[in-house]
Structure 1
Amino acid sequence: MTNAIHPLANTFAPTGELRVAINVGNPILARRHPETGEPEGVSIDLATQLAQRLGVPLKLVVFEAASKSVEAVSGEEADVGFFAIDPLRGAAIAFTAPYVLIEGAYMVKQDSPLQSNDEVDQAQHTVVVGKGSAYDLYLSREIKHAQLVRSPTSPEVVSFFLEHRHDVAAGVKPQLEAELPRIPGLRMLPGHFMVISQAMGLPKSRGDEAAAYLHQFVEDMKATGVVKQAMARHRIEGATLAPLAG
């Protein structure tokens, strides 16, 4: 049951329902239930809370890759989404402050000569990254010498890296680490090459008032423990609760 209709409900949900883009390609945020296939996770919990506050029905629009989720919100085929903050995406999307922070890390084969992150950016190396992911956007700016190679989605990074015999796989640290017990002969490089700020966002065309409301919603979800509780409930490891803005 929804609450009373909020004055900004029509701004957020012009179709009458809140269409929320969910990316199940990043298990820190959302994933499909192994038995039902239905999406679950922190993103879904926050989307449910937002729809209830606005007093409108919730419609989840599920994607397998971050880039598709970005396209949906940028093109207003979805009203709200969950993204890594990036200046390129910020052209069309107004971001909140982050609600969680996630490390981006490198994986290599056990016999790789690479021992540290700063050794990766060399001309002889190929680095696999999920197409359109936050890591792709970041490394496209930062990598100067190594060659970036893009797998179709982030969950396919490791299989693509192995199948095509590339030098390095880049992505969500916990997602890469989860492959280590399953696939022998792999190891992580120590530390991280970036820390990703995961936030909510909506089309900039919805206006400053809606953007401010969404920003405050995220701050409330952090301050009241909703995000922390959701992370515990879904057994999220490898991410930390972002501090309150300001």
Structure 2
Amino acid sequence: MTMNKSRRALLMAAFVLVAASTTSAAQQASDPRVADIVRAGKLRVGLHLPQFVQDPKTGEIRGHGTGTVIVPIAQALADRVGVKLELVGHQAPPALIKCLQAGECDVGFLGYRPARAKSVDYATPHIMVPFTYLVPPKSSIRVPADADKPGIRIAVVRNHASTHALEHILKHATMVDVAIPDEAFELLRSGKADAYASPRPPILEYAKQLPGSRVLDDRYGANIQGIALKKGQAERRAYVSAFVEWAKSSGVIQKSIDAAGGRGIVVAPSDILTGSVPGRH
């Protein structure tokens, strides 16, 4: 008798799980915000260099750099909609924006810029790459404000987002701009700069090459990453934003960062402003 009851309980549990799964799938299929994607059977996600690398023989696209964090998030979004993931690679952000505008990409992973927000809409930010300083051994610079003093030379990469953010807040220090990160690091290592301003991930790596150097904990700005959509899709934007909040609270985004070894990349706070903004950590 006990065995029969246990068997019935197991069967009932299995029935409930199947029913819940079926109901969830039906809800996704009937959700008008993603109904066209469900009908197509695939979610077309746009990426841009250097977020990906492409196999020259097979054409397969794989995440690279921040893309190693982004691709698992894209897969989670496709899973939530209930379709397969199709990655669409582009040479640069403008090409990705055109793909969204033409309706050839459903969503795209794109760093927020005010100018870009005139062409596409953004869902809630999902990850953030802080801008901060690498300072040499025995430096008296402990927080970003310490670097903004007369006579302080800050190495920066020309036209980089981290440099643009710094231009808006520096009042006293002098920026020394160079073409590539290696040159900026060399200025610091050779004593021709007192600090190197950069996104946190690369300077964490450079710090290994200069014993005693430090990457500051605080930030002077950040590159906010969001999922971009074609203008005028308010309902879909709400759907994607709800997904992002779920992915944050459930740990999906943090797990993607950890699995990718994304040192210096953090989950974007829900209340953070989009763009390169000052703040802590």
Q: TM-score, normalised by structure 2?
A: 0.61
Q: Which position in structure 2 is the counterpart of 1:49?
A: 76
The letter of the residue matching 1:61 is G
Q: Which position in structure 2 is the counterpart of 1:171?
A: 198
State the Cα deviation string for residues 47-89 of structure 1 (Å, max 9, x = none): 22334426365124166xxxx33x2343336553334444344
Q: Which position in structure 2 is the counterpart of 1:117?
A: 144
Alignment of 1:177-192 (within 5 A): 177-184=204-211, 186-189=213-216, 191-192=218-219
Give the Cα–Cα distance (whole angstroms) in 1 for the partners of residues 74 and 178 of structure 2: 28
Give the Cα–Cα distance (whole angstroms) in 2 for the partners of residues 180 and 43 of structure 1: 25
Q: Which position in structure 2 is the counterpart of 1:241?
A: 267
- How far 1:45 sits from its partner (Å)? 0.7
Q: Which position in structure 1 is the counterpart of 2:239?
A: 213
Q: Name which structure has the greater RCO, CA cutoff 8 Å, separation 6+.
A: 1
Give the Cα–Cα distance (whole angstroms) in 1 for the partners of residues 198 and 53 of structure 2: 16
Contact 1:105 1:192 (C-alpha < 8 Å) held by counterparts = yes
Contact 1:122 1:146 (C-alpha < 8 Å) held by counterparts = yes
Q: Which position in structure 1 is the counterpart of 2:63?
A: 39
The letter of the residue matching 1:128 is V
Query: Against the structure 1 CA distance between its residues 225 and 109, is the aligned structure 2 distance closer, same or farther, given a 3 Å change threshold?
Result: closer
Instruction: State whether structure 2 residue 252 is matched by structure 1 residue 226.
Output: yes
Contact 2:49 2:90 (C-alpha < 8 Å) held by counterparts = yes
- How far 1:228 sits from its partner (Å)? 2.5
Query: Against the structure 1 CA distance between its residues 90 and 166, is the aligned structure 2 distance closer, same or farther, given a 3 Å change threshold?
Result: farther
Structure possessing the higher radius of gyration over alpha carbons? 2
Q: Which position in structure 2 is the counterpart of 1:75?
A: 98
* Structure 2 residue matching 1:76: 3-state secondary structure: helix
Query: Against the structure 1 CA distance between its residues 92 and 59, is the aligned structure 2 distance closer, same or farther, given a 3 Å change threshold?
Result: same
State the Cα deviation string for residues 108-137 of structure 1 (Å, max 9, x = none): 34476755422433565343036343x234
Give the Cα–Cα distance (whole angstroms) in 1 for the partners of residues 46 and 147 of structure 2: 37
Q: Percent identity?
A: 21
**By percentage of residues, which structure has more helix?**
2
- How far 1:227 sits from its partner (Å)? 1.4
Q: Which position in structure 2 is the counterpart of 1:97?
A: 124
- How far 1:208 sits from its partner (Å)? 1.5
